[in-house]
Amino acid sequence: MGQPSERTDAVHPHSLAVQRNWLIVAATTKDSHRTDLWLIPAEQRFTTRQFGRVERLAELALPVRVFSKVAGQPLTGPLHALTRELVSKIRELADRDDMTERWLVESLTTALRLHLIEIFTSRPQADNDAFDDAARERLLEYIDRDVDTSQEALAHHVGMSVRAFARAFAVTYRTTPHQLVLDRRIDRAKTLLRTTNRPVTEIGLDVGFSTPSHFSTAFKNRIGVTPTQYREGPDRPALRAGRSVGRPGNASLPPIRRTRP
């Protein structure tokens, strides 16, 4: 890896010489302190314009075989936080002559190379990693019971390891278990607010929120209004005292067992 260098001149459009290896270029602008990353394909020229004064510039060559699956177009974007830290540490140690520091630079450079390989060559998870219909039904039923919604408990309920569960959950729902639990609670609360006359505080506790303030804050963050404002909306169906829509007497949605988060 070439040593990161100080630059105080404005960077003008330029073309890099054709190279046999893929080239990683990291540039940090002095004014915005933003670090950008370019992945330049082997045997291709690449022209870029960087506005502002470059504070740091680092280059790292990687073998062609590493990027054979993504060959054909440059990739650009903000630099990953770990990449930025590795580049910064390598630059800090680059001018030292002590053998220990030199070994550390070599180790950090290897770590950076492997990290970049992982970033650019990791493939998206296959659709067959997702939960099947039966697993989704069991999982949502368990979440709505609100017995224990920790990731470990959810994984155990569907008979999976925590690691396999986390992978399948991400592929299926594109969110975290915690966020899905909150979304399900809010959905149940919306139904109760619009179809029953039960107190707002009671509804919040019944759907799984530990305090009225927690319920109100979470509800407003997702819906944009407080539970009371949502209930008083113009499209709420008219209710008779002691009755809920489509249910006899003072019935409401089935009660759920809950634990305080």
Distance between CA atoms of residues 175 and 38, nearest Å: 29
**Range with the lowest mean pLDDT among 29-33, 58-62, 125-129, 196-200?**
29-33
How many CA atoms lie less than 13 Å away from 31 in the CB half-sphere?
Answer: 6
Q: Does the pLDDT at position 112 exceed 90?
A: no
User: CA neighbours within 13 Å on the CB side: how many for 197?
Assistant: 10
Pairing mode of beta strands 35-40, 5-6: unpaired
- Residue, of 30 and 72, whose pLDDT is higher: 30
Could you read off the pLDDT of 155-185 as tens digits, one per residue?
999 999 888 898 899 889 888 888 899 999 9
Report the chain's mean pLDDT, rounded to a whole number.
Answer: 71
Q: How far is CA 204 from the centre of its chain?
A: 28
* Angle CA 45–90–78, to nearest 5: 50
Query: Cβ(149)–Cβ(182) under 8 Å?
Result: no
Model pLDDT, residue 117: 67
> Cα Rg for the chain, rounded, in angstroms?
27
The DSSP output letter for 225 is S
pLDDT at 205 over 60: yes
Q: How confident is the model at residue 29 (pLDDT cuts 50, 70, 90)?
A: low
For residue 213, the model assigns a pLDDT of 93
